[in-house]
Every structure is written in structure tokens, then in C-alpha cells.
Amino acid sequence: MSSGIISPPKETEQVVGKPINRVDGRLKIMGAACYAAEFEQENIAHAVLVQSTIAKGRIKDIETSEAEKAPGVLSILTHLNAPKLNQMKQGDMVKGALGEKFVPLQSDEVFYDGQHIGVVVAETLEQAKYAASLVRVTYEKHKPCIEIVPESPKAYQPKQFFGEELQVQRGDVTKAFATADVKIEQTYTTPIEHHNPMESLASIAVWNDNQLTIYDATQWVIGTRNVVAYTLGIPEESIRIISHFVGGGFGCKGFTWWHTILAAVAARVVRRPVKLMITRQQMFTSCGHRSLTIQQLALSATKDGKLTAIKHVTTSQTSEVDEFVEPCGLTTRMLYACPNLKVAHYLVQVNTGNPTPMRAPGEAPGMFALESGLDELAYELGIDPVELRMINHADVNPHTGKPWSSKYLKECYQLGAERFGWSRRNPTPGSMRDGDYLIGWGMATATYPGYRSPASAKAQLFADGRAVISSATHDLGTGTYTVMTQIAADALGLSVERIEFKLGESSMPPAPVAGGSQSAASVAPAVQGAAQELRSRVIRLAIDDESSPLYGVAQEAILTENGRVFLNNEPSRGETYAELLQRNNLPIVEVEAIANTAASESQQNSDNKVVRICVGKDENSDWQQYAFQSFGAQFAEVRVHPRLGQVRVTRFVSAIDVGRILNHKTARSQILGGITFGLGMALMEETVLDQQSGRLVVRNLADYHVPVQADVGDIDVLFIDKPDPHISIMGVRGVGEIGITGVAAAVANAIYHATGKRIRELPITPEKLL
Ligand code: MOS
């Protein structure tokens, strides 16, 4: 460059934030993305589960002789001959979780309909199915307990939900209610719901001497590895769990379920790889569900709309085989500023499988009650529902007293209301019509915690100029492959096309369960940390290399872009990563990073590959000081036929604050999915049990209704897209579950506005409106 002002090249144009297409999209549309059940194995055998047909009792006799003679049968396992498995006990320090602690095939006891009582292994799937149909079971039937009522003598109070307090009191609720200007008190119920991801659960277990590989549909490869190791009594190092693609999880693949372990047991018995697939019917009993909830809610306020007391008492079901609580009141503790509060949770054991996290456990059903209640209160007070929420905005977390790491809820209300046209709403129920149809507009708040866990990632640069980044995280269809590739591209100075992000293997650097909407928040800083450190090493390599055009220059004068390292003010002076590595005879440069939420020094391990990164800027205490929570506002328009009771959600606006958006396309898709779940929850989804027998009446997608394309109207998703300055250097909380929260209430509130009918029992099916 001779003279004049040289405009320096921009620092690599950022890919993060761009709505790029899914990097795995091509594989998916070509059918080349391999899901758990699709891994080809030589000499594979097929296992089919035999499940109980009573909800409580004992197996008197299980007759397998006829089945054993059926063609192709290799083995039949029941409680009479199954190998012993280790039971996980409360307090066991296993970094993983079982959906049910009760170990199947170890005794004659039956605790619920659909409990695993046998495994049939045969040459082909058809032969295994046929043989399973020949297994004859006779039972001693006991009367199951299915129904729950609040204040049941059998109810007890669970203490915690993942460390969160479930029984909370603040101020004096009784006194506040006694002196309140306005009070509402109602009971809201939500039914049993099932996750029903498109991809059902499946496991392929392959033993190689004492090494076990399981191809599994899971949200937690590390957790599954650890649980399988514990139950089988073999070292964690001997097990590899592989889950490259997951066709939706929604919580039912978060904990490890017994079919995975039974597949490994069966494979060891028949000394062949074994594939075990959960059928759609078995999906209703083999991998958890959301419990029914009965929620008693009372709210009081002053005439000008200030909440004076909130009481939220939830009764839900757990099982006789483990404990899981649907934590409906957790959000109630902190959503609105209110001096007097009582939140309580009760559990009753029933004869079903164990409930498990599902699509915003707690928030989804809990906010149906709370946000319907707020709407009832708004009508009672004659205050606009958005205005009422503004009045009661919580400026700090009311439960912990901590300041928010960042909160843009008021902006969400404003943005959403504006886009929706809320100011044109006539609040009188039944006042908006379109021909025969009643039109209703309703809204609700959305919220979900900003979770984050320690995670790690490895970054490798190869001499051909390509990079591979890996982490034992997951992509449930949410976009992890894509956003992590974007982060690595920016941090490495490489184009997206030259980066391959690998995930879903337990042998990769550890990452947490893809649950609690925490994957992006947890894994992004690790990927960025590893990739940045790798780039620094490449730059130092150039500076120290006498043959490099950059020999001896100052590190600050160097930029990287598109796989090239060069001088900022003289871009032609530089070289490609490939040239640099090849000249130095380096086939690979590799860095591993651990991103932690806790205080930890930067450190390197002996082979100079691991870098520990402390995040939350660089103050070690950041994580403890703040309350991390995502917020949003949901606006729904419904169209109700007054004589048919048919409800259509014609329009939906969702304004969401989840910190920085890594990719607007994949983030938007997650919210679209969450809202679609919410529409199902509001209007369709319900699993029915026969009260006498305790058996499932609904156990397929013909009877368990989920929204299809035609059920989903126009959805507008708006993001605040401002980085959370405290959660991590990346500023990203998670998207995931927040989409469903508040949706059922927004729809129910819109239905009230349309019809004047307040429905407090989900799902809002047509007969409830007639
Ligand atoms: Mo989510 S229900 O934590 O997978």
C-alpha cells in the first residue's frame, strides 16, 4: 500500500446473530441424518417389550414356553430369569438421572399399567412382536389409586425441585386477604399430558468385549452413560452413548429410562447387537408424562391494581415407583411484586409411571392458573390486563431479592401490544364479532429461568484449513449444530463452511443435559473459549515463525478472517492457516475449554490443551449476585363459533427477551414450536385413564390430539435481542421452553373475551363452551 488512508479491514463480519440456514438441514432433508434407531449394525437382533396390562398387583404367572418356540426367538427375559441390576438410591452421587428408580424385571410387583415385565429378543422385529404376543401373564389384581383430590389425607408436601424451595411464605397472606379491596379465588386444573416427540425413544446396544456402545434417543448422553454404568455395575469409561440427532425430546428424553438399560442387558444375553424401539403406544407409559394438576389460586389487590396477596396451592400426582413434582408455584414466587405470598405443593402417589419434566415443567401448567387469575382480577378491577401487569412489575426478584441480570419485560408488553394492535381492544366480553363468529383477544406473561451449567468443548484446526469443534451436547431439532458453528466461525476467523461442529457423544468434552433450556447458555461460552484460544495459538505460531510474513509483529496488529491471519493495516501481508500449519509440520492444533459458572482460575493442563474459562465477565461472584430469568408477552386472537364451541387461534404475537439471539431463524422456530405446544395444551392435549382399571384410554396420536399445520394460525415472534451482561461473555440465555409459557392462559383469556365464559379446566374442548 503506497499512500493515503488505508481503511482497515473490518474485524471479521460476525456470523452470530445472522439467520443462517441450519447447517444440518441438507442431511435432514436427504434423510441422511442418522437417528438412534437408524444405525446399521451387522447381525442385529430385535427386542420388544412386554408390558403389564394391570395398574396394580402381582404377576402370579408369566408363561413363556409357547413364545420361546416361536420362529426366530433368541431369548425372553422376565423377572424369573433377568440378570440383577443395581438400584439407584436417593442421594447416590451419579451425574445422571433415572426416570424411575424402581428396577423392572426384578420382582413380580406391578405398580402401573404399561410397566415393563418382559423383553422378547428375536431375529426380526416381526418375530419378536409375534413372540411377545404369545407371552401369557396371569395377575393378582389390586385396586389401583388414580384419582387425586386437594387436601387428600394421602397428600404430602415435597421439599424441593432441583434445589428450588416448593413451600414458600412471605408476609401474611391471611391478613392481606381479610383487608383486600378486591379478591378472586378459583381452582384451575390441567390434565395428564404426554410429550409425544415425532421420534419415539429407541436404543441400539452393541457390546464389544466389555465395551458397550448405545445409540440412543436422549437429551443427555453423559447422564445416560453414567446411569447405565451404575445400573449395570460397569465403569463409565467402558460405555459410549451416541445421539447425533434427536427428533424432539420436550423432556421425555432428559432422564434415562429403563428400556435403554434393558437393551444393553438383552444384547449381553444374546451376544449380539440389539435394537429396542419404544412404540407410539408404549410412549404413553415408558418415558414419563406431565402429571394432572389441581391448582387453588387466590389473588387480592387494591382498587388501583396493586397485588396485596397471592396464594397458589398445587396438588399433583407422583408414582409409587419414584417421586416427581410438577412445580406449578415456582414462577408465582417471583413473577410479580407482591408483599404477601404463600406457595405450596402437595403430591399424591398414584398407580401410573413416574411423571417427568415436560415442556417447561411447572411454568406451563402453573402459569395457566396464575395468568388466568390475573385476567380475572383485571376484569374485577376494570383495569386493562397489560396495564395490571405493568403495575405489578417486579423490579427485583421478589423471591430472592436479587437484581435481574437483565430484564426487558415492559418492553415485551409494549412491543407485543403494539404489533398485536391491543389498544383497539374493547374489553367487554362478546363485543367483537365477525359474522357468526365471536372474536376474542387475550394476553399473558411468559417467563422461564435462565439456567446455565458448566460445559466444555474441544476445538481442532487441521492442516487443510478446516476446523472441528466438539462437545457432548445435543441438538433436539433446536439448532445447536448451527449456532455453535456460527460462534466458532466468528471466534476462529473461519467461514461456516470450513467448520464442522460435532455433538452427541459421551466421549466428547462434557456438556450438561439438554434440558432447562440451558444448552446455548452453557455450551456457547465453551465453544467460544476453545475457538478463541485456538486462534490465539495460531497467531502466536505465526509471530514466532521466522518463515512467516508475520514474524515478530505485535499480536494486537493481527487480524484473522476467512482462514487467514494478516496484518491489520497491511492485509496483503499474511498467510492462510493451512500454509502456516503445513510449513510447521503441524497436522493439527487442538484446544479444549471448560466454561464454568463458578469461580475458577484460568489454568492449563499438562499437555497444554485444556483452558479453564471463568465467565460472567471476569468477576467470580457474578453468578451468585443476579437473578437470571427470561421474560416475554403472549398475545392471542381467537375465533369462536358460538354454537359449535369450535375455537381457532387465528393470530398470535409473542415478544420475547432471552438475551442475545444467536440465530434469528432457529430461535424463531423454537418459539413457534413452543407456541404450538401451548395451543395443544390450551385446546387439545389430554391423556385419559380409566378410573376403575387405571389403564390408559388414550394411547395414540389419533386420540391424543396435537396441533397440526391447519390448527396453527399466524404467529409473529419478536425478540428484544439484547445481551444479558452477566450470564456469560456471549450474553445468551436459552430459548427453548419459554415459548409455551403463558400460551394456554393467553388463549383461555381470549376465549373469555370472546364468549364471557371463563374455562378453568384444560384442555378447552368444544363441549366446555356450549
Ligand atoms: Mo425440558 S422439559 O427441561 O427437556
Of residues 610 and 63, more confidence is placed in: 63
Q: What is the pLDDT of residue 9?
A: 42
Please tell me the distance from the alpha carbon of residue 765 to that of residue 770, in angstroms, as a whole number: 10
Atom of ligand 1 nearest to the CA of 514: 4
Atom of ligand 1 nearest to the CA of 252: 4
Task: Give the pLDDT confidence of 154-165 residue by residue, as tens digits.
Answer: 999 998 999 899
> Which grid cell sits at 45?
437382533
| Element spanning 512, H or E | none
Q: What is the pLDDT of residue 227?
A: 97
Atom of ligand 1 nearest to the CA of 476: 4
Q: What is the pLDDT of residue 125?
A: 98
Res. 621: pLDDT tops 70: no
Of all protein residues, whose CA lies closest to atom 4 belonging to ligand 1?
A: 251
Bridge partners for 687 per DSSP? 192
- 372: phi then psi, degrees, rounded to nearest 5: -70, -40
The alpha carbon of 598 and the centre of ligand 1 are apart by a number of angstroms equal to: 23
Atom of ligand 1 nearest to the CA of 219: 4
> Which grid cell sits at 742?
403463558
Res. 203: pLDDT tops 60: yes
So which residues are the catalytic ones? 737
The alpha carbon of 211 and the centre of ligand 1 are apart by a number of angstroms equal to: 30
Query: Are 72 and 122 in contact, with CB atoms under 8 Å apart?
Result: yes
Task: Give the pLDDT confidence of 527-564 residue by residue, as tens digits.
Answer: 999 999 999 999 999 999 999 999 999 999 999 999 99
Binding site membership of 452 for ligand 1 (Cβ less than 6 Å)? no
- DSSP for residue 103: P
Please tell me the distance from the alpha carbon of residue 525 to that of residue 49, in angstroms, as a whole number: 41
Q: Do you know the residue count of the chain?
A: 770
The alpha carbon of 417 and the centre of ligand 1 are apart by a number of angstroms equal to: 29
- DSSP for residue 401: -
> The cell 381492544 sits on which residue?
425
Binding site membership of 361 for ligand 1 (Cβ less than 6 Å)? yes
Atom of ligand 1 nearest to the CA of 356: 2
Please tell me the distance from the alpha carbon of residue 637 to that of residue 437, in angstroms, as a whole number: 12
Report the SS3 class of residue 538. Answer: helix
The alpha carbon of 737 and the centre of ligand 1 are apart by a number of angstroms equal to: 7
Binding site membership of 449 for ligand 1 (Cβ less than 6 Å)? no
The alpha carbon of 35 and the centre of ligand 1 are apart by a number of angstroms equal to: 20
Full 3-state SS string of 571-593: EEEEEEHHHHHHHCCCCEEEEEE
Task: Give the pLDDT confidence of 464-475 residue by residue, as tens digits.
Answer: 999 999 999 999
Report the SS3 class of residue 328. Answer: coil
Res. 620: pLDDT tops 60: no
Please tell me the distance from the alpha carbon of residue 498 to that of residue 744, in angstroms, as a whole number: 43
**Considering the entire predicted model, what is its pTM?**
0.96
Please tell me the distance from the alpha carbon of residue 211 to that of residue 597, in angstroms, as a whole number: 33
The alpha carbon of 463 and the centre of ligand 1 are apart by a number of angstroms equal to: 40
Binding site membership of 251 for ligand 1 (Cβ less than 6 Å)? yes
**Nearest CA to 718 among 462, 448, 472, 412?**
412
Res. 8: pLDDT tops 50: no
DSSP letter string over 184-250? EEEEEEE-BB----SSPPEEEEEEETTEEEEEE--S-HHHHHHHHHHHHT--GGGEEEE-SB-S--T
Binding site membership of 515 for ligand 1 (Cβ less than 6 Å)? yes
Q: What is the pLDDT of residue 89?
A: 79
Binding site membership of 254 for ligand 1 (Cβ less than 6 Å)? yes
**pLDDT band, very low/low/confident/very high, at 11 (cuts 50, 70, 90):** low
**pLDDT band, very low/low/confident/very high, at 3 (cuts 50, 70, 90):** very low
Ligand 1 probe mutation, 224, 290, 737, most atoms within 8 A of CB: 737
Of residues 23 and 150, more confidence is placed in: 23
> The cell 422378547 sits on which residue?
120
Please tell me the distance from the alpha carbon of residue 269 to that of residue 212, in angstroms, as a whole number: 13
Q: What is the pLDDT of residue 607?
A: 54
Q: Is the bond preceding residue 763 a cis peptide, omega within 30 degrees? A: yes
**pLDDT band, very low/low/confident/very high, at 606 (cuts 50, 70, 90):** very low
Binding site membership of 358 for ligand 1 (Cβ less than 6 Å)? yes
With a pLDDT cut of 90, the percent of the chain lying above it is 92
On the CB side of 542, CA atoms within 13 Å amount to 26
**pLDDT band, very low/low/confident/very high, at 608 (cuts 50, 70, 90):** low
Task: Give the pLDDT confidence of 380-393 residue by residue, as tens digits.
Answer: 999 999 999 999 99
**pLDDT band, very low/low/confident/very high, at 405 (cuts 50, 70, 90):** very high
